[in-house]
Amino acid sequence: MTDLYSRHRAVMPDWLALYYDDPIEITHGEGRHVWDSAGRRYLDFFGGILTTMTAHALPEVTKAVSEQAGRIVHSSTLYLNRPMVELAERIARLSGIPNARVFFTASGTEANDTALLLATAHRRSNTVLAMRNSYHGRSFTAVGVTGNRGWSPTSLSPVQTLYVHGGVRTRGPFAHLDDRAFIDACVADLKDVLGHTRPPAALIAEPVQGVGGFTSPPDGLFAAFREVLAAQGVLWIADEVQSGWGRTGDHFWGWQAHARSGPPDIVTFAKGIGNGMSIGGVVARAEIMNCLDANSISTFGGTQVTMAAGLANLTYLLEHDLQGNARRVGGLLIERLRAATAGLPGVREVRGRGLMIGIELVKPGTDEADPQAAAAVLEAARQGGLLIGKGGGHDSSALRIAPPLTLTVAEAEEGAAILENALRSPY
């Protein structure tokens, strides 16, 4: 592994992060487990950053990929594509957006980039509202609407971004308020921002902030925002790249926790739908999707082999009620972790919904983020046979837990026990 690591460092950019002091090469996986090149097995609680959503080596998906690859892998969007149309039909129905159109991309970054292109073209404005602590991808435009300093390498941007409160419930100037007052304060902040600028094109927001450490606002915040925005014709883009497809358990889409005002104008998706294959996309009302007056294609968005994977994966997810499993097993896991961390002085909060769980770490006796502790827990969990992630807007001091949605109760208990021991390592 040392040889592969040195080769990696010789040809990859310095900013391409690797987990662990001694990075691992994952060679294969099955179900909720993966193996490294030394033959060690790990329980996977991160799924390739929420991408292996169903299971590693899911037979239904691998079979669909193999069969499609034996016919044709790719032809581009210049030709009719049956798997692409079939998956678009299913996603359009599931989106809740009336008269929906679907455009496929190869990543979540590209999906958000496309959503911003549509919104700014439709509204003829390059001003965008975004949430503090947000993350929307690594393209020039997506970085320009990312409100997380650790993932924003430049202040240059093709859009003018205005950041509003609400993505983080337990930090910031409104943290002390109850949920209703918190929403009212955030709405007042939004109105104040709108009073100082020409009407923006859109608000882009993650219902659950992923890289930000699995934080979320009280239910109903974005519905309250929508009422204010709709009065000025401002669009609502829901970034569901991490929170979609039933991962939160309570809902199929994260935006449905804010459903009083109906579906968003635009929804972006990616990651889990392909179960490891590169699929992203945008769903929008027809008048928004069709607003572009120039030619456009996607070379790799909608390619046949990824669409076959998406169809098989979505079918499995729905037929096996993995949203329900995320609600049941995720609820048990959250309560187990809260009980395990109740006496630990460095654990500020265990939060999340379904199988999207964050544990925020601070220096004991303070409210100050503790990224060193988070790194130590990550290492200790790996030593115990568990892979987790980290993130957060405060120097990556939050642990991120997002197993495949087929996680069993026994595996949840096993992972919680390993994590409990790992959490005691820094203190």
Task: Give yes or no on whether 2-58+321-423 and 62-319 have one common fold.
Answer: no
Fold of 62-319: Aspartate Aminotransferase; domain 2 (3.40.640)
> What CA–CA distance (Å, rounded) separates 277 from 311?
12
**pLDDT tens profile 278-297:** 999 999 999 999 999 999 99
At the fourth CATH level, which superfamily is domain 2-58+321-423?
Answer: Aspartate Aminotransferase, domain 1 (3.90.1150.10)
Instruction: Report the pLDDT value the prediction gives residue 98, as an integer from 0 to 100.
Output: 96
Query: What number of other Cβ atoms are within 10 A of residue 90's Cβ?
Result: 16
For residue 188, what are its two tokens? Answer: 């007042």
Alpha helices in 73-178 (DSSP H): 82-95, 108-123, 140-144
**Vertex 395: Cα angle to 393 and 397 (nearest 5):** 85
Domain boundaries along the sequence of the chain: 2-58+321-423, 62-319
Structure tokens at 215: 């934080």
Instruction: List the one residue out of 334, 339, 337, 349 whose CA is nearest residue 171.
Output: 349
Beta strand 235-239 with 266-269 is parallel
- 3-class SS of residue 400: strand
Query: Smallest Cα–Cα separation from 352: which of 363, 339, 337?
Result: 337
pLDDT of residue 155: 85
* pLDDT value at residue 1: 58
Do 225 and 187 meet the contact criterion of CB atoms below 8 Å apart? yes
In DSSP terms, 333 is beta-bridged to: none
Q: Is 394 helix (H, G, I), strand (E, B) or coil?
A: coil
Which pLDDT belongs to residue 259?
A: 83
What does the pLDDT look like over 55-66, one tens digit per residue? 999 999 999 999
Write phi, then psi, for 420 (nearest 5 degrees): -60, -45
Averaged over successive runs of 10 residues, the pLDDT of the chain (427 residues) comes to 89 95 97 97 97 98 98 96 98 97 98 98 97 94 91 89 96 96 98 94 97 96 96 97 97 94 94 97 98 93 98 98 98 97 94 97 94 96 98 88 98 98 87
Q: Kindly state the DSSP code that residue 200 receives in the 8-state scheme.
A: P
SS (H, E, C) 216-276: CCCCCHHHHHHHHHHCCCCEEEEECCCCCCCCCCCCCCHHHHHHHHCCCCEEEECHHHHEC
CA-to-CA dists, residue 399 to 8, 112, 205, 371, 396, angstroms? 26, 25, 21, 10, 8
How many C-alpha atoms does 106 have within 13 Å on its Cβ side? 12
